[in-house]
Amino acid sequence: MFSFALKNIFFYKSRSITTFILTFVSTLFFIVYVAMMDGSHNSMLKNALKVYTGAIEIYKTGYRDIGGNEYFIENVDEIESKLSQIDGIKHFTSRYETYGILSTDRYSSAAMVTGINPLKEENMSQLKATLIEGEFLSETSKNCLYAGADLIKKIHLKVGDEVSFIGSASDNSFAADLFTLCGVFRTGSFEFDSSASFVSRSYFDELMYAQNKASYITIDVDDLEDVDSVRLSIKKQLSSELEVLTWKTLMKSMVEMMQVDSIFGYISMSLFFVVIFFVIMIFGFINVSSRVKEFGILRCIGLSRANVRALLLYEIFILSSLAIVLATPIGAAIAYYFSIHPIVIEGMSETYKEYGIVSDSVPLDFNIFTISWNVALIYSLNFLSVIYPISYINAFKPIEATRHV
Amino acid sequence: MIKIENVNKYFYKGEDRELHALKNINLSIEKGEYSIEKGEYSLLTGPSGCGKTTLLNVIGALDSFDSGKIYFEDRELGALSEDEKTTIRLNEIGFVFQAYNLVPVLNVEENIGFIMRLRGFPDSEIRERVKEVAAILEIDTKLRSLPSTLSGGQQQRVAVARAVAAKPKIILADEPTANLDSKNSKALMDMMRSLNVTENISIVFASHDKDVLESVDRVIKLNDGEIIES
Amino acid sequence: MYKLILKLAFDNAFLRLSRTMLVIIMIAVSMSMMLSIQGLYDGMTLSMIEKTKRSDSGEISIYAKGYRLSKTITNSIKNVSKIKKVLEAKPEIDALAIRIKADGLSATARKSSFSTMIGIDLKEEEHFGTFSEFLKEGEVTFSKRGVLLGSELAKTLKVKIGSKVIFSAQDSDGEINAMALKVRGIMQTSNISLDASAMYIDKKVLQEFLGIPKDAAMQIAIRTKSKTLENSLVAEYRTLEVKSFLSLYPIIKQMEDMMVIFNSITFFIVMLVVFIGIMGVMYVSILDRIREFGIMRSIGLSYKLIRLQIFLEALFLGLSGYIIGAILGYAALSYLKHVGLDLSAFADGMESYGMSKVIYGDIKLSYFTSTLLAIIGASLLSVLPPLRKIKTMNTIEVTKVET
């Protein structure tokens, strides 16, 4: 029956070619489209993670919901020594985050001022890599301020200038100091660049009475896929008044937005698939209806309904397999190539900066599992499309079919 | 081999009138008529519309009937499922149609071997048998050709070869000569006769062709769906 | 004669019911899906545009030169009351909103965030963009040092109705001033930057707080239906910056463009399917009846009449699909328009990126008219290849075709 199906495919060329092309195009399109969608989501996440948010962060329960000075982590050294013994953690560092007002002679702006450990921060985030002017902080950089490009523009500050800071220390007392702008960074995220600034912890801790305290501890993991298991092993080591959160919770709104974006992507794709499905079905149906007589003869000389079903399934199996076998490696190759050499859309990050897009490049996502289910879906659609033609042809009595026009 | 008892088939059956396709057909010794026996070489004949093709289709488990019984070697056709009937057609009956009805995508060799292949004969046996039958029917030079490249006579011989190859118990041939000229008709009938003799296959024709009439052993005449002579 | 052709066409179109139904269902399903998706996307973009205009820019906004680059209180429009009088006299302007803005720090006892204080006149904003419709919680009032907060800002500050918020900012003398306010309402405009940072108080209160003259403002937003107003305002206020909605929100312009491109591609694909579907079915149907056409031609029916019959058949197919598709599509669209697509499960994400958690579709008459025209076109085009078959057939040969 297989070789018979093969012969039919070669004999009814136009139907075969149409089915082949449609399957080929839809497979290719689907693989690339999904790779692009997932890729842009992944890159958004990765960029966001790279810039500042950690894959895992540890907070004292209540800091995120209620906040305030009584919710700082108090025993940072002890926790850090525990963290250094857990597998799967690449780097970690603690940060002391506070909000205050930065003022120059004439201008002032609200800003987030964070005490960081410059050496550890180099490995953790892109803060050092995004330096555009001056220099990054060091352990000994004292009252040096490292600030976002858009923030210093707001208050008309230049490298070397002095800027006053007013905020409240960890004991709720009034804290004020004079910083010197030593370095400027630009991550590409407008919100971050227009509000964030950093001071070396060794200096800032004294000002804020924040020794051994932290707003949170941020952690980078070896493999982003293992983030949940690493979280569990951290949680086991720590007291219950600390909460350990992964990026999935920390960036809940971004993750949700991506899910919504995917939903819309799939809604659009579904129209495309319904259309392809119908066209393949129509061509299959037309082909079968022009062969009613032939099937009638075959049934007369002893082909059973099951044989007819097998024949048509073989035909679609061969055609769709051929198309998929050709399209999948091409689609996968495109996805793979562009996952390494991302597509660059000039000016994209400028337009979408409000959405946290910090880079002009969109790498595609190359994921064997995703490609497999894409292919499986197209396969199933192809098989679904012959159900009607099969039931149509098998509804004929053999003798009626031989008399069919 | 085949017994037919009081078979009726209607084109139309209402309260006021009925239109018979087949009317009280009997072909069984019990009813005083001869049944169709092994090695038989006979003809169903009669004017157009008399029911000969219908009867042939009913015997061949292709068409249904409304009352009566048909026994194919002790199996009652009316009681069989569609799949069981398909199995009988595949294993025990060969068909030859007026319009050749070859499978257009298969070449001559594949068309002849098609039924054997469906029945699961080994390849070597199929090849041998195809050659053998093709030689008898004088189409052994055309084995690689597609049906569309053959003449009508050749196509009909391929159809006969296909019916014969799997050694069915009976061949039912519906107007096999209708599309052939007299020379080709005669040649075909000669070949079928020799198959009937050498292979001991029963052959029943439905035809009103003189050439067929002259060559058969037994003639069953029908008119308006009734057997009027057998 | 034509009545007979019409009857022939109609009967033949529905002769092979299963295959006719297949094409009709195909057209109807893909068309209704296309309409739903288009309506949904249009609705989404439209609601974003509408809300952005209502909550912020209007169709046109006027700023002091340099304000958008450096948002300081010195970069303000000076003689607002005069400009207001001139603008109000223009019949093409439907509404005006004059706003004062100042960036600063908002803080509770425990949380702080950056925010933009916007001084507004509630009556004016209500007329400008039915401001009260943005209310998510509480009430729209500034009484007793009341303040209204953007929804995301309220989340960041973890405040509820009645909570106290301190706002500090630099005044016109360069001094840092602070004021204590009580949250009266939480506003959700679906405008990302407003929801994340806006605090609304009474314009006069903010004026006093900042110590700026009564005649100064940061933004004059204008609602208008006029297409030419922007150019005339640009010419009229050369010392100010007159900006259209789209130039203020290039991302929305880009989204709109992308929607148009996406919708056109979908439209094209669906019409291609209509074309292929009808062509396939008509082709088989004509081949099936080639003998019939041969006989008709040999008894003297002209090619023109046969062509007419076939055109009509294709039209019956296309139009039947269209009618069912339009009904289904309209049903789906009105569901989307009135009930909407509820994405509450992703509410946090949707809201922080400036979308409502329920997305409502849009229904435009043009969806149906353009689809109708395209389907008629596709139906007629699709029979050209099968027609060629009839034109080139040999009448005598085809009447002999084995049936």
In A, minimum Cα distance to B120 occurs at A1
Cross-chain Cβ contact B95/A298 below 8 Å: no
Contacts of A272 in chain C (CB under 8 A): 269
Give the number of residues written for chain A.
405
Closest Cα to residue C149, out of C169, C126, C133, C165? C165
Q: Return the pLDDT at C313.
A: 87
Interface mutation target, options B81, B107, B110, B118, chain A, most CBs of A under 10 Å: B118
The secondary structure element, H or E, covering residue A245 is strand A242-246
Residue C271, classed as helix, strand or coil, is helix
Give the number of residues written for chain C.
403
Interface mutation target, options C158, C278, C346, C351, chain A, most CBs of A under 10 Å: C346
The answer to whether residues C161 and C184 touch, using CB atoms and an 8 Å cutoff, is yes
Minimal Cα–Cα distance from A4 to chain B, Å? 8
Q: Return the pLDDT at A200.
A: 93
- Cα distance between residue A170 and residue A173, in whole Å: 7
Nearest CB to B89 within list A7, A10, A300: A300
Cross-chain Cβ contact A267/C355 below 8 Å: no
Quote the pTM value. 0.73
Q: A163-167 long-range CB contacts below 8 Å, 24 or more apart?
A: A163/A102, A163/A103, A163/A104, A164/A102, A164/A103, A164/A104, A165/A100, A165/A101, A165/A102, A165/A113, A166/A100, A166/A101, A166/A103, A166/C176, A167/A98, A167/A99, A167/A100, A167/A101, A167/A113, A167/A208
Q: Return the pLDDT at C403.
A: 39
Pick C366 or B31 by higher pLDDT.
Answer: C366
Which of A220, A250, A280 terminates a domain? The answer is A250
Contacts of C193 in chain A (CB under 8 A): 354
Same domain membership, residue A311 and residue A165: no
Amino acid occupying residue C285 = S
Query: How many separate helices (H) and strands (E) can be counted in chain C?
Result: 16, 12
Nearest CB to C110 within list A66, A110, A392: A66
Q: Return the pLDDT at C402.
A: 45
- Cα distance between residue B171 and residue A282, in whole Å: 38
Radius of gyration of chain B (CA): 18
Radius of gyration of chain A (CA): 31
The total of structural domains in chain B comes to: 1
Cα distances from A159 to residues A144, A177, A185, A405, C69, in angstroms, run: 10, 17, 11, 88, 20
SS (HEC) of B130-194:
HHHHHHHCCCCCCCCCCHHHCCHHHHHHHHHHHHHHCCCCEEEEECCCCCCCHHHHHHHHHHHHH
Which of A226, A250, A274 terminates a domain? The answer is A250
- Cα distance between residue A117 and residue A123, in whole Å: 11
Cross-chain Cβ contact C350/A267 below 8 Å: no
Cross-chain Cβ contact C349/A107 below 8 Å: no
Dihedral pair phi/psi, residue B44, rounded to 5°: -95, 125
Same domain membership, residue A394 and residue A295: yes
CA C241-C242-C246 angle, 5° bins: 120
Question: Who contacts A196 (Cβ-Cβ below 8 Å, separation ≥6)?
Answer: A52, A111, A112, A114, A147, A148, A151
Minimal Cα–Cα distance from A288 to chain B, Å? 14
Average pLDDT for residues B10-38, to the nearest whole number?
A: 71
Question: Cα-Cα-Cα-Cα dihedral of C89, C92, C97, C100, to 10°?
Answer: -70
The answer to whether residues A193 and A180 touch, using CB atoms and an 8 Å cutoff, is no
Cross-chain Cβ contact B103/A294 below 8 Å: yes
Same domain membership, residue A210 and residue A297: no
Query: Domain range spanning residue A38?
Result: 2-49+254-403
The answer to whether residues C5 and C12 touch, using CB atoms and an 8 Å cutoff, is no
In A, minimum Cα distance to C112 occurs at A99
Strands A56-60 and A216-221, by their bridges, are: antiparallel
Strands C93-107 and C112-120, by their bridges, are: antiparallel
Interface mutation target, options B105, B119, B160, chain A, most CBs of A under 10 Å: B105
Q: A169-175 long-range CB contacts below 8 Å, 24 or more apart?
A: A169/A207, A169/A208, A169/A209, A169/A210, A170/A69, A170/A72, A170/A96, A170/A208, A170/A209, A170/A210, A170/A213, A171/A69, A171/A209, A172/A69, A173/A209, A175/A100, A175/A207, A175/A208
Extract the tokens encoding A300: 């007369």
Cross-chain Cβ contact A274/C19 below 8 Å: no
Nearest CB to B105 within list A11, A299, A305: A11
Minimal Cα–Cα distance from A297 to chain B, Å? 6
Please count the CA atoms within 13 angstroms of the CA of C348 that sit on its side-chain side: 11
Q: What is the pLDDT of residues A11-54, one digit of tens each?
A: 888 788 888 888 898 888 888 888 888 888 877 777 777 777 88
Minimal Cα–Cα distance from B56 to chain A, Å? 11
Closest Cα to residue B104, out of A7, A40, A263? A7
Closest Cα to residue A302, out of B139, B88, B176? B88
Cross-chain Cβ contact A304/B87 below 8 Å: yes
Give residue for tokens 């100010």: C240
Nearest CB to A101 within list C168, C270, C276: C168
Cross-chain Cβ contact A11/B97 below 8 Å: no
Same domain membership, residue A275 and residue A225: no
Same domain membership, residue A136 and residue A44: no
Q: What is the pLDDT of residues C51-103, one digit of tens each?
A: 889 998 899 999 998 887 777 788 889 889 999 999 999 999 999 999 999 98
Chains interfacing with C (3 or more CB pairs < 8 Å): A
Extract the tokens encoding C24: 């009709």
Same domain membership, residue A191 and residue A108: yes
| Average pLDDT along chain B | 84
Give residue for tokens 């509410």: C347
Interchain CB contacts (distance < 8 Å): A and C: 145
Same domain membership, residue A78 and residue A178: yes
Query: Domain range spanning residue B176?
Result: 2-229
The answer to whether residues A276 and A22 touch, using CB atoms and an 8 Å cutoff, is yes
Residue A189, classed as helix, strand or coil, is coil
Interchain CB contacts (distance < 8 Å): A and B: 61
The answer to whether residues A234 and A56 touch, using CB atoms and an 8 Å cutoff, is yes
- Cα distance between residue C378 and residue C276, in whole Å: 9
Same domain membership, residue A197 and residue A182: yes
- Cα distance between residue A151 and residue A196, in whole Å: 7
Cα distances from B208 to residues A44, A347, B41, B50, C291, in angstroms, run: 83, 85, 15, 11, 27
- Cα distance between residue A193 and residue A353, in whole Å: 11
Residue C62, classed as helix, strand or coil, is strand
Extract the tokens encoding C266: 């979908």
Q: What is the pLDDT of residues B142-199, one digit of tens each?
A: 899 988 899 888 888 898 888 888 888 899 998 888 877 888 788 888 888 888 888 8
Same domain membership, residue A176 and residue A41: no
Reported confidence tier of residue B124, pLDDT bands at 50, 70, 90:
very high
Cross-chain Cβ contact B82/A305 below 8 Å: yes
Restricting to A residues 305-334, those with a Cβ less than 8 Å away from any Cβ of B are 305-307
Same domain membership, residue A207 and residue A69: yes
Minimal Cα–Cα distance from A349 to chain C, Å? 11
Nearest CB to A301 within list B87, B106, B115: B115
Q: Return the pLDDT at B98.
A: 78
Residues of chain C below pLDDT 70: 1, 354, 393-403
The total of structural domains in chain A comes to: 2
Q: What is the DSSP string of A57-122?
A: EEEETTTTTT-SGGGSBS-HHHHHHHHTTSTTEEEEEEEEEEEEEEE-SS-EEEEEEEEE-HHHHH
Question: Who contacts C198 (Cβ-Cβ below 8 Å, separation ≥6)?
Answer: C115, C116, C118, C149, C150, C153, C187, C189
Name the burial class of residue B164, with classes exposed (0-12), middle (13-18) and buried (19+) by CB atoms within 10 angstroms of its CB. Answer: buried
- Cα distance between residue C295 and residue C284, in whole Å: 18
Question: Domain of B52: which CATH number?
Answer: 3.40.50.300
Extract the tokens encoding A60: 């004292």
The answer to whether residues C34 and A274 touch, using CB atoms and an 8 Å cutoff, is no
Same domain membership, residue A380 and residue A312: yes
Which of A234, A250, A266 terminates a domain? The answer is A250
What b-and-e string marks burial along C378-390, b requiring 16 or more CB atoms within 10 Å of the CB?
bbbebbeebbeeb
Residues of chain A below pLDDT 70: 346-360, 404-405
ipTM, 2 decimals?
A: 0.77
Same domain membership, residue A376 and residue A301: yes
- Cα distance between residue A68 and residue A172, in whole Å: 9
Q: What is the DSSP string of C272-339?
A: HHHHHHHHHHHHHHHHHTHHHHHHHHHTT--HHHHHHHHHHHHHHHHHHHHHHHHHHHHHHHHHHHHT
Nearest CB to C349 within list A101, A191, A259: A259
Restricting to C residues 233-272, those with a Cβ less than 8 Å away from any Cβ of A are 250-251, 254, 262, 266, 269-270
- Cα distance between residue B68 and residue B80, in whole Å: 14
